[in-house]
Structure 1
């Protein structure tokens, strides 16, 4: 594998940040779909279908936001690990001191 461990951890964190941004965009789309959906008629069954559809979109919106937040948190943890790994002295450095 090319690159240091710190570089690989930072690259993985960047990929997770892109995934978190994708999840946030998906959440926005679910939210927009909820605002744009309208009942398909005035019958009770049509209102029930519309209510279920809106509830499903709301749940997906929440799921996507939670996924984005968790993914972003993981990216932050990887960056902290990369900084810790980068600053940790190697055995060779310790022996030369």
Structure 2
């Protein structure tokens, strides 16, 4: 599975988990576009710029995947991060 597919899979998990208010169109993974330069999904809307990516962090001998969603608009930026459950590689 490529990076875009894995990120889209993570987005499906993150959408119902996030505390950020998303416009109805973005509550489905299909409304997001892939940005290969950033390895992230994004959407530009009147409400602002929405971005989502997956980061990794080493905690001792474990590697933890972290979902990161951000919204930037005229009022500033809000960011949400959450540890993701382990998903076995296909």
Please confirm whether the aligned pair reaches a TM-score higher than 0.5, indicating the same fold.
Answer: no
TM-score by length of 1: 0.24
Relative contact order higher in (CA < 8 Å, ≥ 6 apart) = 1
Q: Which has the higher strand share?
A: 2
Q: Which has the higher helix share?
A: 1
